[in-house]
Amino acid sequence: MSAARRVVAKVGSSSLTTAAGGIDPQRVAALVDTLAAARARGTELVLVSSGAIAAGLAPLGLGQRPQDLATQQAAASVGQGLLIHRYTAEFARHGVPVGQVLLTADDVTRRSHYRNAYRTFARLLEMGVLPIVNENDTVATSEIRFGDNDRLAALAAHLVHADLLLLLSDVAGLHDSDPGRPEASLVPEVLSAADLDSVHIGHAGASGVGTGGMSTKVEAAKIATGAGVPVVLTSTDNAAPALAGEPVGTRFHPTGRRRPTRLLWLAHATEPRGQVVLDAGAVRALTERRASLLPVGITAVVGSFVGGDPVDLVDAAGLVIARGVVNYDSTELPALLGRSTRDLARELGEPYEREVVHRDDMVLLSGPGRGGD
């Protein structure tokens, strides 16, 4: 931890806001002081911060987080400006410039978008700017939402090539039972998924202003460690010792190796818009030879989608084999099923010689070679 030169830190709404839902200036100032001190020691930081919707509740006279998407987006629109203004003012006390980066899943799963996102982060860090990341709640539809900032933070850690992901919570770390019980013990290390079999993984917290909980943090840790990024989960109060390398909270050790960034986002940050059903030969071609998907291996199309959308590739029994970015609309595919690209090109023209899903735009989710490496 102490050797980590680039760290992504994620903080939740409950650590930044009052019980009534507004921004707590003292909490934000304390967090900024801690991050600025780490930065002064030479650590590059990216902050993934929740709190936009929560910050917008009080100004709009809302007593609790709204359930409908439109009101959530209205609250985010009001609260995001308040949140970034507070961060800008607090970091300015330390002479640290900040930059706002708002993302939707669509921004980082389409090829041109994710490359631009990477370049933006790289340039900000190169210029000495501390990027502050949040989901773009104001415009994200239900189909393109990350769903929680823990997952966003795990994916961002991989995107910026972080040495460490620090997940800040309202509890000290992962426990072997409900942390509210006196007999609960902190789990200091998680070496593999098997270590999670006997621990307590709760759900959303009691603050009522956020969407996360221990379950989302554990899932985020699995994503990051599976892609080679170690994770420390601890309380916001422990942020300073955690960044200094002290043994606080729970450390999740890497379980995998770095993989192509875009495929990691495709696997974990997208919701499929439909399904493409494969025959046995196509399943073998994808899983054993890492081949692209051609029309000849498709038996059916489920759902409505357009070219560029993520779709699940399933076998005859409905098992999801892979997820990929499709090159055809769902209305086009039925006429192409079971036919070779050579025949299609001869009959319909050269554009129909392309793959339905190219292997570079596909991540295996089951079977040999899963994970997109």
- Bridge partners of 312? 275, 323
Least confident range from 16-20, 23-27, 79-83, 300-304: namely 16-20
Q: How far apart are CA 137 and CA 124, in angstroms?
A: 22
Determine the pLDDT at residue 216.
Answer: 85
Q: pLDDT-based confidence at 124, cuts 50/70/90? A: very high
For the chain, the C-alpha Rg in angstroms (whole number) is 22
More confident residue, 282 or 343: 282
Q: How far, in Å, CA of 323 to CA of 263, rounded?
A: 9
pTM of the prediction?
A: 0.79
**AA letter at 6:** R
Q: CA 162, CA 333: separation in Å to the nearest integer?
A: 40
Tokens representing residue 41 in the block:
């020691």
- Structural tokens at position 302: 């489920």
Most confident by average pLDDT, 105-109, 209-213, 306-310, 353-357: 306-310
CB 284 within 8 A of CB 367: no
Whether 46 contacts 130, CB under 8 Å: yes
Least reliable range by pLDDT among 77-81, 169-173, 193-197, 299-303: 193-197
Integer distance in angstroms from the first to the last C-alpha of the chain?
A: 26
Q: What number of other Cβ atoms are within 10 A of residue 334's Cβ? A: 10
Instruction: Give me the domains of the chain, ranges plus CATH numbers.
Output: 6-259 (3.40.1160.10), 272-364 (2.30.130.10)
Q: What percent of the chain has pLDDT over 90?
A: 45
Q: Show the tokens assigned to 142.
A: 């239900």
Q: Residue 359: exposed, middle, or buried by beta-carbon count in 10 A (0-12, 13-18, 19+)?
A: middle
Q: What is the pLDDT of residue 143?
A: 45
Three-state DSSP class for residue 163 = coil
Highest mean pLDDT among 12-16, 18-22, 81-85, 345-349: 81-85
Distances (CA, A) of 162 to 45, 154, 218, 224, 371: 9, 10, 18, 10, 19
Contacts of 318 (CB under 8 A, 6+ apart): none
Question: How many secondary structure helices (H) and strands (E) does the chain include?
Answer: 10, 13
Among 29, 87, 24, 34, residue whose Cα is nearest residue 54: 24
Backbone angles phi, psi at 269, to 5 degrees: -120, 15
> 3-state DSSP call for residue 186?
strand
Q: What's residue 140's pLDDT? A: 55
C-alpha to C-alpha distance for 62 and 81, rounded to whole angstroms: 17
What is the DSSP code (8-state) at residue 329? -
Read off the pLDDT of residues 261-298 as tens digits, 9 standing for 90 and up: 778 878 887 778 999 999 999 999 999 999 999 999 99
Burial zone of 171 (CB within 10 Å; 0-12 exposed, 13-18 middle, 19+ buried): buried
* Whether residue 91 has pLDDT greater than 70: yes
Distance (Å, whole) CA 31 – CA 309: 39
